[in-house]
Structure 1
Amino acid sequence: MSSKPGILIKQPVSVFSKRLNVNFGSGFTALTKAVVNGLTGNVSNVPENLVEMGAAVGLAKEPGEIAWLLIFRSLIQAMASLVDDNQDLLKKVDNDDIETIVKHRLENCLQNLEATELTIDSNFFAHPEELAIVLAIKEPFRQWLTEFVSTPAQAEAISNRLPTEFVYSLIEEWKKNSDKYTVLQTELNTPFIKASEREQAWQRYSIWLQKQVNERMFSEAFSLEQVYVPLRTYYERKVEIKYDDDFISGLRESYKQDKRNERIVVDLQAELQTWLDEADKNDAIRVISGGPGSGKSSFCKIFAAIQAKIGKISVLFIPLHLFDPEDDLVNGIGKFINDLRDIPLPPNPLVKDNTVEKLLIIFDGLDELAMQGKMGEEVAQKFISEVQRQVNAFNHVQTRLQVLISGRELVIQKNQSDFRKPKQILNVLPYFLDEEEIKDNNYIDNQNLLKQDQRQIWWCKYSQASGRGYDSLPEELDEGHFREITSQPLLNYLIALSLVRGAVKFFDNSNLNEIYADLLTAVYQRIWANDNPVIKGVAEKDFVRILESIAVAAWHGGDVRITTVTEIEKYCDRNILERILNIFKQDKKASLARLLTAFYFRQRGLKGRDDTFEFTHKSFGEYLTARRIVQEIKIINNQLKANEEDSDYGWNKLQALERWAKLCGSTAMDDYIFKFIINEIQLQQDKYQVDIAEWQLTICDLISYMLKNGMPMEKLQLSTFQEANWQARNAEEALLGVLNACARATRNVSQIKWPSPEAFGNCVSRLRGQRVDSHIHSEIFCLNCLSFLDLQNSILQYQDLYEANFKEANLKEANLVGAILEGANLERAFLKGANLKEANLLRANFVRANLEGAILVRANLVGAILKGAFLKGTILIQANLERAFLKGANLLQANLEEAILERAILGEANLERAFLARAFLGEANLGEANLERANLEGAFLEGANLERANLEGANLERAFLKGANFEGANLRGTILEGKI
């Protein structure tokens, strides 16, 4: 044989043309026995006649035989790994049936396979998955699997994973037994064999990245890759619209620039591929922003796998919940690589001796760094700064490092000022957007990407991979709020699971938590029900309770995704835990590890010296945490009732608050958990007929007691005052949040006994803290929990209540002088007699609010929505209502002297006897408004629309009416004397 590399690379190695006489039937028989006996976890456990069959045919003598040994062992390892990974899907097969399965089911296919000559050439290690034997073995492997799994689709899905699994097994086999294959190095001159140890490490890691998207998706037989739908995204582009407003008589002349953003729609993968290929050293960071379950992490895995397969750039994928963000980036990556021994990570590429020509680092989950309130947000900000610093340093001369970061919208928004380059932030779009959403959000879709309803694609792929009979999205899921839910990748999948089970009836008002609860029941019944002899007797309520405690343990640790065995033991109910451990009759670690695998957990290395586990999706942890918090309210309510009936039983308020502080003090609540709490409380009321109004009263009493006596943090024996103060604040905010969730369900106003008029102001100031983020959309959790509160007579002067939610709150005669209520929701709020003098109410929502007699002197109401609001006798002197929406508002006897109503919409409004002297109404829309006996003396009405308006008896003396439209208006008795 020639040993010239050039010849060997181009042509097959002739020695490998020899027929390899191996009995596949014996191999499958041995593998089948291994399946039955549960021995497939490691090739070393598979019967020796399976993995050492090579000795019988002399596989250790010639290069061709040695190559066969490498291929055969890798194939068996790949099949064994796939079978082991799907153990929960396998049916029991009697040993007597094994020979029948192999000999009769597979005989013809195996005979054809054994008659096939196998050759490999220099391209073998570049694309081993294309080897003829790998493709040929898929069919008998699939047929063989059909005897063990429930459906042909499961067998198909598992066998489709064989090529990728084979490649990974081949690389691992070479690494473990490289001494056996040294002879191949003289026969094949390939980049794989001649690569240095560092290069081989990158090759192994690249194959591992490709394997990740080929692994099982949750508890399914199919993989992410089999049902993945490419994501669409948009980036924002500012557009400046310039126009002149020319007002005569010198009344007003201005030049404005109105800036708005266009949303440019692009294909996410194509956009990032272009960015990678262009490799601009001054634009080397990209950010993917999206909500929970929007597909960010799935895309990052798919993109990493694609780049690893292309091979033009080295890729390092780092889940940020496994990364120390406070360390120097170089050291942090070194620790990440050293700590995760279960992943074949390459040597640290940021260290000088290990550098690669071009590197892409994907940091997945920026929000993981911001899970612990303001401290976490600071960590995230510092991490971003460190990434930017290192990228600039590495790319000083040429582009060597590019970074892709993913995270939820809120944390990206809070750090938006750090990402100012065009196209730098890419916002993930849902599977489906209707035409109204596209128009309202100013999407520019030049590629017509949004015309495709990607839900239809997903359901077709899902049907093919799972064997379900769907050729499109089921009709019942294309209506009402299910349109929005099925547009989100994760929720769409969870709905598919519930639909298949048939346990949830899908209506337009279906509760999302009910779907999560059904998923929980499905997992219990599949893995934990009484037909499982190993764990027979574990009650579903105990199973759920333990999982809730695990989620709380993770939440207390600062991340609702990961936790450790030690933290679980700390937070779990000891009685339930011991009962389950006794059923297992194993040591604690083994038992908990088994428990954790039941509900979408997986093991992820070590945290300190303790095993670390993580939910495969953060929303599972958030849902379970919310359930546990709601369960605690139920317990507290029952215990307080028992104590009221007999002081020897139950808990008093002090004990209840102590218990609450232990549960909700360690970590601040956020909007994601809060949404699940809202749904869970609504579900308790609607489905289980729980008296939520009683819970609401109980929480009001607890808050009243807490305001008077404080949160009993001394009972928790915390080490520092600072920690006690922080945890007290978290517990208070969580209590307010759960009260608000109850009020949203009952729609009753919460009657808290505030000890003084300033008590609420003091409370909200403490919970809100000082804003540190200048971004316009910065959200503060506690300000979203103020609806349905009784706050009459409260003193809230100059308070920062930006975008606060006061929906249906009682603010009667409240003092809100100078308060910042920009973008606030005051829908149906009761503001009778409230003082809002000089308040900032820009874009505030006052739909159907009661503002009778309220004082709004010089208030800023630009763009405010006052549709149907009751403004009888309201004082709006010199108030700015430019572009305000007042359609159908009742302004009877309101005082709008010198108010600015430019381009305001007052159609159908009642302005009877309103005082509008010298008011500015240029281009205002007063169509069909009632202005009977209104005083418009000296008002500016140029270009105003008064079509069909009722102006009977109105005073328009000295009013400026140039270009005004009075078509069909009632002008009987109108005073027009001296009008301009």
Structure 2
Amino acid sequence: MSNTSGFSVSKPVALWNKPIKADFKELFKSLSKGVIDGVLGKWEEVAKDAVEATAALGLAAAPEEVAWLLIYRSLVEAIVSLVKGNQELLFEKPNEKDLELLCDRLNHSLESIELRIDQDFFSHPKDLPILEAIKTAFADWLKYFSVNQAQAQTISHRLPTYFVYALHEEWAKHPEKYACLKAKLDTPFTQANEREQSWQRYLAWLQKQVEEPMLLEAFGLKQVYVPLRAYYKQKVAGEKSEEFERRLREDDKYQRVVLDLETELEAWLEKGDRNDAIRVISGDPGSGKSSFAKIFAANQAEKGKTPVLFIPLHYFEPSDDLVDAVGKFVRDDGFLRYNPLEKDKADSHLLIIFDGLDELAMRGKIATEIAQQFVREVQRKVERFNVRETCLQVLISGRELVVQANSSDFRQPQQILHILPYFVPKDERKNYIDEQNLLQQDQRQIWWQKYGNASGRGYDCLPKELNQDNLIEITAQPLLNYLVALSFDQQNKFPTDGNLNAIYANLLTAVYQRGWDSHQHAALHGIKEKDFVRILEEIALASWHGDGRTTTVREIEAHCENSSLKSLLDKFQESAKLGVTRLLTAFYFRESGVKEQEKTFEFTHKSFGEYLTAKRIVREIKLIHKKLKDGQDDPDEGWDEREALKRWAILCGASPMDEYLFNFVLDEMRLQNVSDVRNWQQTLCHLIGFMLRHGMPMEYLTPRPDFQEENRQARNAEEALLAVLNACARVTKIVSKIKWHIPEVFGIWISRLQGQRIITDADVFCLNCLSFLDLQGCVLVFKDFAQANLQGANLVRTNLQEANLVRANLRGANLRGANLRGANLVRANLIETNLQGANLRGANLELANLERANLVRANLVRANLVRANLERVNLLQANLVEANLEGAYLVRAYLGGANLVEAYFQQANLVEANLQGANLQGVNLEGVNLQGVNLQGTYLEGENLADLNEDSGLDSDE
């Protein structure tokens, strides 16, 4: 068939006697009516009215008429979809005369456009000539509704992408209407079979996703997206002995190699190595993982080389068989009519992007295990599909902690790619290998310039008010930087201390003022801002009790009923009938499917839900404190401890707290009055003591769960008590004093909370909540406190014999007289720790940091202090008989009167150390750096002193 084949598109014959401008005039009039009447959720009717204004379209028979029908319907759907997605930006309403003139003018500008469909149209539908003209007309129409110039252009600029998607949708819904085009035009689109068409439709949807508006903005992700950088860990080159490797600090074993994330993954995809078919993107909340995954999927779809299946894992139900799970997802999603992983239907090459490994981990009681099982099933299936050639490649994204917990399964070079922030300060760049000098660029400047253009706010770089050292951590993270921009634009008082919760609070106020308090919604003035926030908190709680992101109306109603918020919810729902919740759903959550025959809503970003849940938890602490105090004054007015703990179990029992939620709770505590937090801390200490003596009152729950579920919820609630107490203590810096009714009760409790580690490197959440805790005299023999945070804790005379304290943070803790005999303290942080009189006999302190620690009269007989940092440590009269101090750093250490008989000091650094009166009998100091050392009154055997003097810089008479 000739490359020039095709035909001019005409309107149906029945309309020849009508002016061509009538079609688009009716479209713009219908759109205007939809905005003016506030139909909101009824945009389908607007689209129907606009199309059926030309009634004869449905009777078209000639190919050119059918083509016109396809184009027109797709244009209508695309424009209506754009208006629907940005309706909050449309405020003022022109009068009917102005509206008529506007529609006439817009139509006139379109009537001279000739449409022609040829070979290229279905291959490049975005290049249809009329689209440019309609974009201009559409932008002019938007400006009549007080949309500014930049916003109007941004919205209309998205029209081609929306049109392409609508084209695929219209063809898929009514294939019989367009059958004649298949015979007339020989293109990949028109001749595609059902399977190919479903892929084309899905790939068009992927491209539309990155164009959809962000929150309450006119622009989409694509308009402000900045390409991300990442790094992978590479082992330090060179042959090292096993002993040397063991002694190296973790950070010293690896180099961080910087790369452009998209370039790296495109090269990986192009290479298609069947033995290296899985890549993992790791990053903290808001680092841009999901944004990158969407952009990468859309870009690869547009290139058309490899089909891409994008799966957000919070929609995914993992099973023992990945093929079955993908099949269920595809059926529910509705785009593909077949399972692309089924043996007889599998594509020759497929990329699957699984976004949000941590979302899987939110679903069950043993979260880490679920994620681990999923990863291993993916690995098994990838190996099976790629036996002979590369048929399947997989990209997985997830939060740092979840990826770290599964890192042992990802051992290929460059397999885990860690996302880097927009900006890395100069002094931190030395920690990376950056051969392309990617880190020299401050990507915040690029983002703010794009944001300024897309929003019409005119920024050409990061505003100087935000370009401050204390705001780098926030402005360098993609999501937080955007939230900063929204908060900054509202011209509220900007929180310069960098507290993320304060920024979210600003945004909540801005959304309320924009929606509930605006003149356009005068009927809603009955909803106060505090009520607005309160309902949002309950919605967040319902989501946390579910899978962490989604919830249903029924679940929200149940939570509001339990919290005595039924009347407030009714008022809120009444407002919803007026369409105002569109503001809410645009900003914080959106419809996300169906669960048990009910519509579900999801938070657009899990951090929104975590912030609101944290506010709800702090609100409950405030209430519990008040009610317990009221109960002490008048039992008829307040609560007793059982009632308070019952309320806590209802609030925090359904789902376990994690590090991310805890950080929001901590930031929320920091926004409170410190004297109030101090009082809450005392209340929580009292409640924990009561709970440990009497148990959690789970029998008070209605309906009462079965024993296993009751036990699970009690454990979650107890851990949350400990975590929130720790948040209070971190704010007040006061040690939390709990009455332990027996010395071993804390050990029993912490074992219950921490459970069994699945892998050695995984962090245990409850062990991070032990700082500033009074554990004086507790029995903790053989306990697992690896990587625990015991900073500032009171451990006076605590029995920690043989305890595992590897990499534990004991900075500033009081361990006076503690029993640490045989304890494992490898790489522990003991800076400024009080170990006076502590028993560390045989303890392993290799690579531990004991800088400025107090070890007066400590027992360190046969202790392992290899390469330990003992700078400025006080070892007055300490017993270091046969201790191993090989390579130890003892600069300016005080060892006055210490017993160092037969201690091992090879390669130790004792510059300016004070060994006055120490016993060095049997110690070989050959090769030890003793420059400036005070050896007055020290007992030294005379052998090798001549050599020692030469090496140490000592005078011969010393």
Deviations, residues 549-578 of structure 1 (Å, cap 9, x unaligned): 111111111x22111222212212464333
Alpha-carbon separation, structure 2, partners of 1:857 and 1:898: 10
Residue 46 in 1 paired to residue 46 in 2?
yes
Moved more, 214-223 or 72-81: 72-81
Alpha carbons 2:830, 2:851 under 8 Å: kept: yes
Alpha carbons 2:846, 2:867 under 8 Å: kept: yes
Which residue of 659, 680, 687 maps to 1:671?
Answer: 659
Alpha-carbon separation, structure 2, partners of 1:42 and 1:571: 30
Residue 351 in 1 paired to residue 342 in 2?
yes
Letter in 2 for 1:731: A
User: 2:141 — aligned with what?
Assistant: 144
Deviations, residues 163-204 of structure 1 (Å, cap 9, x unaligned): 101111122222333333333223211111111112111111
Cα 1:690–1:134 shift into 2, 3 Å: farther
Residue 83 in 1 paired to residue 83 in 2?
yes
Alpha-carbon separation, structure 1, partners of 2:120 and 2:946: 83
User: 1:322 — aligned with what?
Assistant: 315
Deviations, residues 44-86 of structure 1 (Å, cap 9, x unaligned): 5238774246568999364334323322232222112111111
Residue 340 in 1 paired to residue 333 in 2?
yes
Residue 206 in 1 paired to residue 203 in 2?
yes
Q: CA deviation at 1:353?
A: 4.8
Moved more, 565-574 or 656-665: 565-574
Deviations, residues 501-547 of structure 1 (Å, cap 9, x unaligned): 1223342x342111111111112221222631353311222221111
Cα 1:798–1:612 shift into 2, 3 Å: same
SS at match of 1:823: coil
Moved more, 464-473 or 368-377: 368-377
SS at match of 1:193: coil
Cα 1:547–1:244 shift into 2, 3 Å: closer
Moved more, 93-102 or 58-67: 58-67
User: 2:930 — aligned with what?
Assistant: 946
List gaps (5 residues or longer) in structure 2: none
Alpha-carbon separation, structure 1, partners of 2:872 and 2:759: 37
Which residue of 473, 488, 504 maps to 1:516?
Answer: 504
Deviations, residues 103-130 of structure 1 (Å, cap 9, x unaligned): 69x56xx655433433231111111011
Residue 821 in 1 paired to residue 821 in 2?
no
Residue 602 in 1 paired to residue 586 in 2?
no
User: 2:752 — aligned with what?
Assistant: 766
Cα 1:257–1:682 shift into 2, 3 Å: closer
Cα 1:963–1:905 shift into 2, 3 Å: farther
Alpha-carbon separation, structure 1, partners of 2:464 and 2:733: 32
User: 1:168 — aligned with what?
Assistant: 165
Which residue of 429, 444, 447 maps to 1:438?
Answer: 429
Which residue of 420, 427, 443 maps to 1:429?
Answer: 420
Letter in 2 for 1:919: A
Alpha-carbon separation, structure 2, partners of 1:587 and 1:30: 24
Alpha carbons 1:840, 1:859 under 8 Å: kept: yes
Alpha carbons 2:88, 2:583 under 8 Å: kept: no
Q: CA deviation at 1:645?
A: 0.6
User: 2:189 — aligned with what?
Assistant: 192
Alpha-carbon separation, structure 2, partners of 1:754 and 1:594: 51
Cα 1:484–1:807 shift into 2, 3 Å: same
- 1:440-455 correspondence to structure 2 within 5 Å: 440=431, 443-455=432-444
Residue 651 in 1 paired to residue 639 in 2?
yes
Moved more, 566-575 or 466-475: 566-575
Deviations, residues 412-442 of structure 1 (Å, cap 9, x unaligned): 11111222222221111111212333334xx
Residue 799 in 1 paired to residue 783 in 2?
yes
Alpha carbons 1:433, 1:450 under 8 Å: kept: yes
Residue 295 in 1 paired to residue 288 in 2?
yes
State the percentage of identical aligned residues.
54
Alpha carbons 2:231, 2:258 under 8 Å: kept: yes
Q: CA deviation at 1:462?
A: 0.9
Which residue of 426, 447, 453 maps to 1:458?
Answer: 447
Residue 263 in 1 paired to residue 256 in 2?
yes
Q: CA deviation at 1:584?
A: 4.4
Residue 842 in 1 paired to residue 839 in 2?
no
User: 1:249 — aligned with what?
Assistant: none
Q: CA deviation at 1:652?
A: 0.2
List gaps (5 residues or longer) in structure 1: 1-5, 246-252, 975-980
Alpha-carbon separation, structure 1, partners of 2:957 and 2:901: 18
Letter in 2 for 1:313: T
Cα 1:48–1:784 shift into 2, 3 Å: closer
Letter in 2 for 1:397: R
SS at match of 1:79: helix
Moved more, 174-183 or 690-699: 174-183
Alpha carbons 1:912, 1:933 under 8 Å: kept: yes
Alpha carbons 1:242, 1:257 under 8 Å: kept: no
SS at match of 1:119: strand
Alpha carbons 1:243, 1:256 under 8 Å: kept: no
Moved more, 836-845 or 924-933: 924-933
Alpha-carbon separation, structure 2, partners of 1:771 and 1:188: 63
Cα 1:371–1:958 shift into 2, 3 Å: farther
Letter in 1 for 2:771: S
Alpha carbons 1:41, 1:80 under 8 Å: kept: no
Q: CA deviation at 1:966?
A: 7.5
User: 1:248 — aligned with what?
Assistant: none
Letter in 2 for 1:700: C
Alpha carbons 2:11, 2:65 under 8 Å: kept: no
Residue 416 in 1 paired to residue 402 in 2?
no
Which residue of 565, 577, 592 maps to 1:576?
Answer: 565
Letter in 2 for 1:527: G
Alpha carbons 2:361, 2:371 under 8 Å: kept: yes
Alpha carbons 2:245, 2:253 under 8 Å: kept: no
Letter in 2 for 1:906: L
Alpha-carbon separation, structure 1, partners of 2:67 and 2:586: 40
Residue 859 in 1 paired to residue 859 in 2?
no
Alpha carbons 2:10, 2:65 under 8 Å: kept: no
SS at match of 1:821: coil
Alpha-carbon separation, structure 1, partners of 2:5 and 2:408: 57
- 1:911-950 correspondence to structure 2 within 5 Å: 911-950=895-934
Letter in 2 for 1:852: Q
Aligned-pair RMSD on alpha carbons? 2.8
Alpha carbons 1:952, 1:973 under 8 Å: kept: no
Alpha-carbon separation, structure 2, partners of 1:116 and 1:591: 38
User: 2:66 — aligned with what?
Assistant: 66
User: 1:490 — aligned with what?
Assistant: 479
Alpha carbons 2:47, 2:76 under 8 Å: kept: no
Which residue of 694, 700, 717 maps to 1:709?
Answer: 694
Alpha carbons 1:947, 1:965 under 8 Å: kept: no
Q: CA deviation at 1:710?
A: 0.8
User: 1:533 — aligned with what?
Assistant: 522
Residue 698 in 1 paired to residue 680 in 2?
no
Which residue of 612, 615, 621 maps to 2:603?
Answer: 615
Alpha carbons 2:778, 2:799 under 8 Å: kept: yes
Alpha-carbon separation, structure 2, partners of 1:403 and 1:803: 32
Deviations, residues 806-863 of structure 1 (Å, cap 9, x unaligned): 1111101111111111111111111111111111111111111111111111211111
Letter in 2 for 1:657: L
Deviations, residues 261-308 of structure 1 (Å, cap 9, x unaligned): 122221111111112112222222211111111111111111111111
User: 1:808 — aligned with what?
Assistant: 792
Moved more, 841-850 or 466-475: 466-475
Cα 1:410–1:101 shift into 2, 3 Å: farther
User: 1:250 — aligned with what?
Assistant: none
Residue 132 in 1 paired to residue 123 in 2?
no
Alpha-carbon separation, structure 2, partners of 1:962 and 1:121: 97
Alpha carbons 1:18, 1:117 under 8 Å: kept: no
Alpha carbons 2:897, 2:916 under 8 Å: kept: yes
Alpha carbons 2:94, 2:145 under 8 Å: kept: no
* TM-score normalized by the length of structure 2: 0.93
Moved more, 128-137 or 55-64: 55-64
Residue 501 in 1 paired to residue 490 in 2?
yes
Aligned length: 945
